[in-house]
Chain A
Amino acid sequence: MLELKGLSKHFGGVKAVDGVDLRVRKGEIVGLIGPNGSGKSTTVNLVCGVYPATAGRIMFEGADITRLAPHKRVRGGLARTFQNIRLFQRLTVWENLWVARNTAGQGEPRRLFGNWVGGQRAARASVEELLEFAGLHSKRDMVTGALAFGEQRRLEFARALAAEPRLLLLDEPAAGMNLEEIGDLRHRIVDLRRRGLAVLLIEHVMELVMGVSDRIAVLNFGRKIAEGSPAEIQAHPDVQAAYLGDAEV
Chain B
Amino acid sequence: MDYYIGLAQIIGIHTLLGLSAYAVLLTGQVSLAQAGFFAIGAYVGGMLTVLAGWHVLSGMIVAGLVAGVVATLVGFPALRVKGLMLVVATTAFGEAVRLFFFNFNYRIRRGDVLIGPSGGEGFRQIRFFQENGWSTIEMALFIWAIVILVLATLWWLDRSRAGTVWRAVGEDELAAQSAGVSITAVKVSAMGLGGVIAGLGGALYAHNTTHIEHAQFGVVLATFAIAYPILGGLTSVLGTLAAVVFIQGFLVEGLRFLGDWRNLLFGALIVLAMNLRPNGLLDASAVAALRRGLSFRRKGAAHARA
Binding site for B on A (CB under 8 A): 48, 50, 69-72, 74-75, 79-80, 82, 86-91, 95-96, 98-100, 102-104, 106, 109, 112-113, 115, 120, 143, 159-160, 162-163
Q: Is the CB of B180 within 8 A of A75?
A: yes
The interface residues of chain A lying within 8 Å CB-to-CB of B181 are 71, 99, 103
The interface residues of chain B lying within 8 Å CB-to-CB of A74 are 177-180
What CA separation (Å) do A50 and B162 show in the bound complex?
23
Q: Is the CB of B186 within 8 A of A112?
A: yes
Q: A71-B177, A106-B180 are in contact. Are A95 and B164 (CB under 8 A)?
A: yes
What CA separation (Å) do A109 and B185 show in the bound complex?
8
Q: Is the CB of B180 within 8 A of A103?
A: yes
Closest chain-B Cβ to A92's Cβ sits at a distance in Å of: 9
Q: Is the CB of A88 within 8 A of B185?
A: no
The interface residues of chain A lying within 8 Å CB-to-CB of B171 are 88-91
What CA separation (Å) do A143 and B177 show in the bound complex?
20
What CA separation (Å) do A88 and B166 show in the bound complex?
11
Closest chain-B Cβ to A159's Cβ sits at a distance in Å of: 6
Is B220 located at the chain interface by the 8 A CB criterion?
A: no
What CA separation (Å) do A122 and B124 show in the bound complex?
57
Q: A98-B164, A99-B165 are in contact. Are A88 and B183 (CB under 8 A)?
A: no
The interface residues of chain B lying within 8 Å CB-to-CB of A69 are 182
Q: A109-B185, A112-B189 are in contact. Are A99 and B164 (CB under 8 A)?
A: yes
The interface residues of chain B lying within 8 Å CB-to-CB of A109 are 182, 185
Q: Which residue of B lies closest to A159 (CB)?
A: B179
Is B297 located at the chain interface by the 8 A CB criterion?
A: no
Q: Is the CB of B162 within 8 A of A71?
A: no
What CA separation (Å) do A221 and B181 show in the bound complex?
33
Q: A74-B177, A88-B167, A112-B189 are in contact. Are A102 and B161 (CB under 8 A)?
A: yes
Q: Which residue of B lies closest to A50 (CB)?
A: B174
What CA separation (Å) do A71 and B185 show in the bound complex?
11
The interface residues of chain B lying within 8 Å CB-to-CB of A96 are 168
Q: A91-B168, A91-B171, A112-B162 are in contact. Are A48 and B176 (CB under 8 A)?
A: no
Q: Is the CB of B174 within 8 A of A113?
A: no
Q: Which residue of A lies closest to B160 (CB)?
A: A113
- Can you name 13 extra interface pairs (CB under 8 A) apart from A79-B180, A91-B171? A48-B178, A74-B178, A75-B180, A86-B174, A96-B168, A98-B161, A99-B179, A100-B180, A102-B161, A103-B181, A106-B180, A112-B162, A112-B185
27 A-B pairs (CB sep. < 8 Å): A70-B177, A71-B182, A74-B179, A75-B180, A79-B178, A79-B180, A86-B172, A86-B175, A86-B178, A88-B168, A88-B171, A88-B172, A91-B171, A95-B168, A96-B168, A100-B179, A100-B180, A103-B179, A106-B180, A112-B162, A112-B186, A112-B189, A113-B160, A113-B162, A120-B161, A163-B179, A163-B180
C-beta contact mask, B283-297 vs A, less than 8 Å → 1, else 0? 010000000000000
Q: Which 9 A-B pairs have the closest CB atoms?
A: A103-B180, A100-B179, A74-B180, A86-B175, A88-B171, A99-B168, A88-B168, A71-B182, A70-B177
What CA separation (Å) do A128 and B168 show in the bound complex?
19
Closest chain-B Cβ to A77's Cβ sits at a distance in Å of: 10
Closest chain-A Cβ to B283's Cβ sits at a distance in Å of: 11
Q: Is the interface of B mostly helix, strand, loop or mixed?
A: helix
What CA separation (Å) do A79 and B165 show in the bound complex?
17
The interface residues of chain B lying within 8 Å CB-to-CB of A82 are 174-175, 178
Q: Is the CB of B165 within 8 A of A90?
A: no
The interface residues of chain B lying within 8 Å CB-to-CB of A86 are 172, 174-175, 178
The interface residues of chain A lying within 8 Å CB-to-CB of B185 are 109, 112
The interface residues of chain A lying within 8 Å CB-to-CB of B168 are 88, 91, 95-96, 99
Q: Which residue of B lies closest to A79 (CB)?
A: B178
Closest chain-A Cβ to B229's Cβ sits at a distance in Å of: 15
Closest chain-A Cβ to B7's Cβ sits at a distance in Å of: 34
The interface residues of chain B lying within 8 Å CB-to-CB of A99 are 164-165, 168, 176, 179, 181
Residue from the list B167, B183, B284 in contact with A71, Cβ < 8 A: B183
What CA separation (Å) do A72 and B184 show in the bound complex?
12
The interface residues of chain B lying within 8 Å CB-to-CB of A98 are 161, 164
The interface residues of chain A lying within 8 Å CB-to-CB of B161 are 98, 102, 115, 120
Closest chain-B Cβ to A8's Cβ sits at a distance in Å of: 22
Q: Which residue of A lies closest to B165 (CB)?
A: A99
Q: Is the CB of A104 within 8 A of B180?
A: yes
The interface residues of chain A lying within 8 Å CB-to-CB of B180 are 71, 74-75, 79, 100, 103-104, 106, 163
Q: Which of B150-171 contact A (CB under 8 A)?
A: 160-162, 164-165, 167-168, 171
The interface residues of chain A lying within 8 Å CB-to-CB of B176 are 88, 99
Closest chain-A Cβ to B16's Cβ sits at a distance in Å of: 22
Q: Is the CB of A90 within 8 A of B167?
A: yes
Q: Which residue of A lies closest to B174 (CB)?
A: A86
What CA separation (Å) do A99 and B169 show in the bound complex?
10
What CA separation (Å) do A69 and B185 show in the bound complex?
12
Q: Which residue of A lies closest to B305 (CB)?
A: A141
What CA separation (Å) do A87 and B171 show in the bound complex?
8
What CA separation (Å) do A90 and B164 show in the bound complex?
11
